[in-house]
Amino acid sequence: MTYRIDEDPLAEVRSARAEILHLAEPQDPCVQLSLSLLGAPTTADLLSQRKPLDDVLTERAEDLAELAAHTWQEWAQQMQTRIKNWAGRKRPYTFEREMEIAGRLGAWVMIPEDPDWPEQLHDLGADEPFALWGRGDRTLLQHLSLQGSVAVVGSRDTTSYGNSATTHLAGDLAAQGYTIVSGGAFGIDAVAHRSALVTAAGPLSTVALMAGGVDRPYPKHNEQLLSEVIQRGLLLSEVPLSYQPTRWRFLQRNRLIAALASVTVVVEARWRSGALNTAHHALEIGREVRVVPGQIFSPNSEGCHRLLRDGLAQITTSASDITESLNQHLQPEQEHLFESPETSEIGQLSEAEQRIWDALPLRNFAATEHLGVMAGVEGRNLLLGLSQLAQKGLAEQTAQGWRKSKAYKKAT
């Protein structure tokens, strides 16, 4: 369907966010703050230097007044630095031209203001993407739910064991209607996508997150596979059209893989692996992480065993391990677990979990860093504790931070 800018009520915001993808770095907190305070059109005007920062500070003083004086002054200084550093990215840009090119590819751009924006991406908070480019049937986005999606990631240089494990796990999950999310790379990613395409019983078989533009599926060797993903699933990227993938783009896109799925499964991963990066992103936003154990002498499984050793993940040997976890609901006879610390799961918490639980606010939200200070628990132990509390239904996270869960509050 040809995009008509005059028929799009969000055209101004969509155009601005699409331009910001060209000008800014993903996960930039300064840009995110500008978007929340000033909106996408003004932020795009600033980054493109169509409007001087001093003029914006004067015109939007009332909006910036929401911030403490030192905070907005620091933001202004940081924004000025970014405008200067990113000046080389400025180029003649027209949204109409970009959408014309996109139309020939069957590509589209969605923004957080769209009704079909995946809500689970809000859990990334300040790391939420400014916009996403996509290829495939956009109506399939309605089936991209958190509880219905599982990420399957791992090494590029796989073993026959890793390929077999991935085929069974991803294939069995897809056959039960789950969407398989991965990165389209060699190895485990490719096997996961192929298995999902072969066995899919649900409307959305698989989603591939690219580190480059969706018009340049990468790696080239997987072009046929990614073409099938476009035909029967979705190809997504926060990188503009025509952009080539770079090393840091792969690391940045890993957070999107983790955020889109309720569980991240690591099949094979070396001691240093991009799959481990995805797993840590999942833990940071309270998602469950599972790993497939390997041979103790296999370097391809060192990263998996490392996650298990550090208590950051659970073992998975079949799809039923994952589906049982996803389908867990409180039974009526279990509701008493939330009645009091003496009789509930709260009384069974570890010391670190208890500290984090005590630090969690009941109504407002607290940032992860603040909870670490209040609880006296830091780093890996803090992320693990929050993840475990979320799995037990005792904590919840939104873009604003963490607090005690609604289930607990309702019961008390």
- Is residue 179 within a helix (H) or strand (E), and if so which, with residue range? strand 179-182
The pLDDT value given to residue 88: 87
The torsion angles phi and psi of 271, rounded to 5 degrees, stand at -55, -40
The pLDDT value given to residue 65: 75
DSSP for 101-130, written as a single string = HHHHHTEEEE-TTSTTS-GGGGGGGGGS-S
Per-residue pLDDT of the chain (412 residues; tens, 9 = 90+): 678 888 899 999 999 999 999 999 999 989 998 998 899 999 999 999 999 999 988 888 887 776 766 677 888 899 999 999 998 888 788 899 999 999 999 999 999 999 999 999 999 988 999 999 999 999 999 999 999 999 999 999 899 999 999 999 999 999 999 999 999 999 999 999 999 999 999 999 999 999 999 999 889 899 999 999 999 999 999 999 999 988 889 999 999 999 999 999 999 998 888 899 999 999 999 899 999 999 988 999 999 999 999 999 999 999 999 998 887 633 333 333 333 333 356 667 888 888 888 888 776 677 787 777 777 787 778 888 888 888 888 888 876 678 888 655 444 4
Pairing state between β 206-209 and 149-153: unpaired
The pLDDT value given to residue 75: 87
- How many residues are there in the chain? 412
Going along the chain from its start, the domains and CATH numbers come out as 5-97 (no CATH), 137-328 (3.40.50.450), 333-408 (1.10.10.10)
Torsion of CA 270, 276, 278, 284, to 10 degrees: 180
The torsion angles phi and psi of 333, rounded to 5 degrees, stand at -75, -10
Residue 138's CB is within 10 A of a number of other CB atoms, namely 16
Surface-to-core class of residue 94, CB atoms within 10 Å of its CB (0-12 exposed, 13-18 middle, 19+ buried): exposed
Q: Match 């952009």 to its residue by tokens.
A: 243
